[in-house]
Amino acid sequence: QSALTQPASVSGSPGQSITISCTGTSSDVGGYNYVSWYQQHPGKAPKLMIYDVSNRPSGVSNRFSGSKSGNTASLTISGLQAEDEADYYCSSYTSSSPHVVFGGGTKLTVL
């Protein structure tokens, strides 16, 4: 199946808010409330930031929030900090095997 569509890059200044989009279809993002977001710093392993569209795992800052409208999910980071600079990936359950698909990733630059 095709990867979910994310912008290649977004940027923001410290203290600002940014939103990263993740667009799929009614067979994945739009059809289920099973979207996750992962943060990956260079040379490091991905880290779960949001699951089931808007749930934050224990230990993840409440500056990170998730939402969904139609076939597009979004990750919002408020009060941007230098340490937020990283790559962000979305993933979703999909009706077709193997039932999981990732987005292409978005590079967040903190100006």
Site residues for another protein per CB under 8 A: 3, 32, 34, 36, 38, 44-48, 51-52, 57, 89, 91-93, 97-105
Nearer to another protein among residue 24 and residue 103 (C-beta): 103
Please state the closest distance from residue 45 (CB atom) to another protein, in A: 4
Please state the closest distance from residue 13 (CB atom) to another protein, in A: 26
HSE at residue 57, side-chain half, CA atoms within 13 A, is 10
Nearer to another protein among residue 57 and residue 70 (C-beta): 57
Cis omega (within 30 of 0) for bond into 98: yes
Length of the chain: 111
Nearer to another protein among residue 47 and residue 63 (C-beta): 47
